[in-house]
Amino acid sequence: MKYSFFLLLCCFSLNIFAQSEAAEGEGMNFVEMPFDELLAQAKEENKVIFIDAYTTWCGPCKMMAAKVFPEAKVGEVYNERFINAKFDMEKGEGPAIAQRYSVMVYPTYLFVDGNGDIVHKGIGYIPQEEFLALADAAISESSLGVMNKRYDGGDRSGEFLAAYSQVLTDVYEQEKAGRVSGEYLEMQEDWSAPATIKLLIANPGELGGKRMNYLVENADKAMEIAGASSFVMTMQQAIVGHYMAENNMRELPAVADIVSLYEEYGGAMAPRLLAHYTMLHAEQVQDNDAYVSAAVKYYTTYGSDSAMELNSAAWTIFESSDNKDHLQQALVWAKMSVEMQPGYANMDTLAWLYHKIGDEKMAKETAMRAIELAKIDGQDYSETEKILKK
């Protein structure tokens, strides 16, 4: 299956799952009432409200509803500690709640007290054990609400600022995370520690600023610590995001329009970033010939340490090219992706590539492995089954 690099830039993810509600007493029980009434109940019972802020089109939202919310252990904890509710962020009171609590990605989990103040947050698909840990964090001294009060009360100790900036980063409070991490970093004389570099990568600051310049000058170390693919995407978000904001754009700019920014701010990474962006842009504008050429050039030159990235490239070439050399190259990337992190998505890609190059024996064997992985995760494997019938 294909995962778009452009969607990575926008912090989206794609999953296909069926949404299901937990039965009464099995998993989480969600109440249905207006938000004001929820606040009144929370105040009366001295409890915190848990809100699943979702949309109907969000894959990870559906995955949570199907795989995590119905679990008995999850229900035991969340039903006892919180008043559970869910709101579609595009209907009814949803848009107002999204605006009030700055919901930018889906799903977002809001923990709110009876006064309507934020207690804690979480985002994205969260497996069961981590979701239970989120419930613990929401009532701990490291909750977002507690840390907000400590910060507003004047706590500026280095240990606190480092922890606070990490929590803010984790819950996608980007603007405040950047500000708090900046305060912490200004207190540090040496930024070379791995933990500090991770903080820099999560909050790189303004293009051309001290933080970004440090990352550019220490790119090799940053890639070693965070992974090359992750760091390259951080740089792309900073450079491309800057250009798009400056020019009030919603679509990726043409390659020629952004070359000068890479030359000015990319340092020794400029050639790699430009080659990477050429591939990103070709994918967005759906220029398949340009994409295949750019992808082959980029991955042949620089490689990748990301299973998802390699799978995306392999699937795109599968969809867009009949060139045998290109398909063989995509097969190599798909195999590497599976070796790094086997899953239904990349195993399915590998199976279809075997089918397209005419190796039906390996196509069927790999399709069976993909289907077994899909069954474990509860994913729809009907498309993969078509290989077995050919």
Beta strands in 98-159 (DSSP E): 108-112, 118-123
CATH code, domain carrying 33: 3.40.30.10
Q: Angle at the Cα of 357 (from 353 to 362), degrees rounded to 5?
A: 65
Place of tokens 């994913």: 379
Q: Is residue 325 part of a domain?
A: yes
Q: Is residue 33 part of a domain?
A: yes
Exposed, middle or buried: residue 379 (CB in 10 Å: 0-12, 13-18, 19+)? buried
Asked if 351 contacts 338 with a C-beta cutoff of 8 angstroms, the reply is no
pLDDT at residue number 287: 87
Q: Is residue 232 part of a domain?
A: yes
pTM summary value: 0.70
**Closest to 349 in 3D by CA, of 390, 307, 378, 377:** 307
pLDDT at residue number 220: 94
Place of tokens 């400590």: 150
Instruction: Quote the domain boundaries for residue 101.
Output: 5-139
Q: Is residue 195 part of a domain?
A: no
Rounded distance between C-alpha atoms, residue 117 and residue 136, angstroms: 18
Per-block mean pLDDT, blocks of 10 residues, the chain (390 long): 41 33 66 96 96 91 88 94 96 95 92 95 90 94 93 94 90 87 91 91 89 94 92 91 88 93 94 95 86 91 92 90 91 96 94 96 96 83 90
User: Do 71 and 159 reside in the same domain of the chain?
Assistant: no
Q: Is residue 252 part of a domain?
A: yes
**Closest to 257 in 3D by CA, of 238, 226, 278:** 278
**Closest to 276 in 3D by CA, of 250, 300, 308:** 300
**How many structural domains comprise the chain?**
4
Q: Is residue 192 part of a domain?
A: no
User: Do 135 and 16 reside in the same domain of the chain?
Assistant: yes
End-to-end CA distance of the chain: 19
Q: Is residue 92 part of a domain?
A: yes
Query: Largest alpha-carbon pair distance within the chain?
Result: 68
User: Do 300 and 315 reside in the same domain of the chain?
Assistant: no
User: Do 95 and 161 reside in the same domain of the chain?
Assistant: no
User: Do 131 and 11 reside in the same domain of the chain?
Assistant: yes
Q: Is residue 194 part of a domain?
A: no
User: Do 330 and 294 reside in the same domain of the chain?
Assistant: no
Q: Per-residue pLDDT tens for 299-310?
A: 989 999 999 899
Q: Per-residue pLDDT tens for 343-358?
A: 999 999 999 999 999 9
pLDDT at residue number 373: 92
Rounded distance between C-alpha atoms, residue 371 and residue 110, angstroms: 35
